[in-house]
Amino acid sequence: MDNSHLAALLGTFSNARIAVLGDLMIDSYVWGQVERISPEAPVPVVQVTKTSCCLGGAANVMRNIVTLGGQVDAFGLVGDDSNGELIRQLLGEYNIDTSGVITDPERPSIRKERVIAGSQQLLRIDYETPTAASEDLRRKVVEKVKKHLQSGQVQALVLEDYAKGLFSEAMAQELIDCANALGVITVLDPNPRNLMHLTGLTVMKPNRNEAFAMANIPQTPQQGDAASDKSLQQVAKVLSQNWQVKYLLISLAAQGMALFNADGSCRVIPTRASEVYDVSGAGDTVVAASTLALAAGADAVAAAELANYAAGVVVRKLGTATVNAEELRDILLKG
């Protein structure tokens, strides 16, 4: 397969500037080995060999944009705590502008800690208080994002919703309307636990489970590929009509992706992953790569194909990972 047109896109990413608003998190890891079962309870004892942490949630989308060569501005909330300071520090290490990151004194920063023995995740511990942010803070966030959009420096706005209390339907719609009026691409990575009926999006990117939940249609086993999956086509029709989205990009795990146009036509994009070690953050990589491609002027099919290759790289890595432009270019040119 000749992917030279996709590889050429990577060279244009440095001209793209993306605003990302979403739930900012720290992903932390405890790595070790299991050699025995605890005498205190029937659980493994992990002998810790190292610990690590990285940006997660919407912040992982941001760092993927940077590693792929784009520019990004961060918007969101963090707590008045050490994890909030760490989020700002790590964003700064990627040269990401954090002037749009606001401190929420009422809620802690989000941290997800995973315990991994060998290559097996044993446990995840979530530090969070997923209550709604105050309307005052939401208004401050909206005003910061709108001011940035109106500067004319941004080609795309990404809304990353992990249902942690940042987004309300009204604030998201206000930002979409503002972006549309300015000709800025809008991308939503939705979460059915915070169902927002939004209109005017350029792209919405749920996974298969999320898509069925958002459409309120009982999920059925996948029937063939997406082009012949009647249940999935019905879901896509409901979402496209109710959300008035231009492109619906549904990730299908091992089956790749399905790109639905507003007219209902479907393009199936087979998976490019030869090995899968960890799917953590793969959806973030898809959002980052596809948004950069669209911002660089690619059509929706090319953007989805590029994102599919990028996801195929990160799932080979253990932990919340990124893909850089060089390794993605190598994969593309190898076909």
Which strand (E) or helix (H) includes residue 191? none
Burial class (CB in 10 A: 0-12, 13-18, 19+), 224: exposed
Q: Is position 189 annotated as part of the catalytic site?
A: no
Contact 47, 35 (CB under 8 A): yes
User: 151: Cβ–Cβ under 8 A, 6 or more apart, which residues?
Assistant: none
Helices and strands per DSSP (H, E), number in the chain: 10, 13
The whole-angstrom separation of Cα 141 and Cα 314 is 31
Please report, for residues 44, 79, 89, 109, 126, the alpha-carbon distance to residue 26 in angstroms, rounded to integers and kept in the order given: 25, 12, 11, 8, 10
Helix (H, G, I), strand (E, B) or coil at 198: coil
Length of the chain in terms of residues written:
335
From the list 23, 73, 104, 284, the catalytic residue is 284
Side chain identity at residue 294, one-letter code: L
- Euclidean distance between CA atoms 256 and 261, whole angstroms: 17
Which residues are marked as active site?
Answer: 284
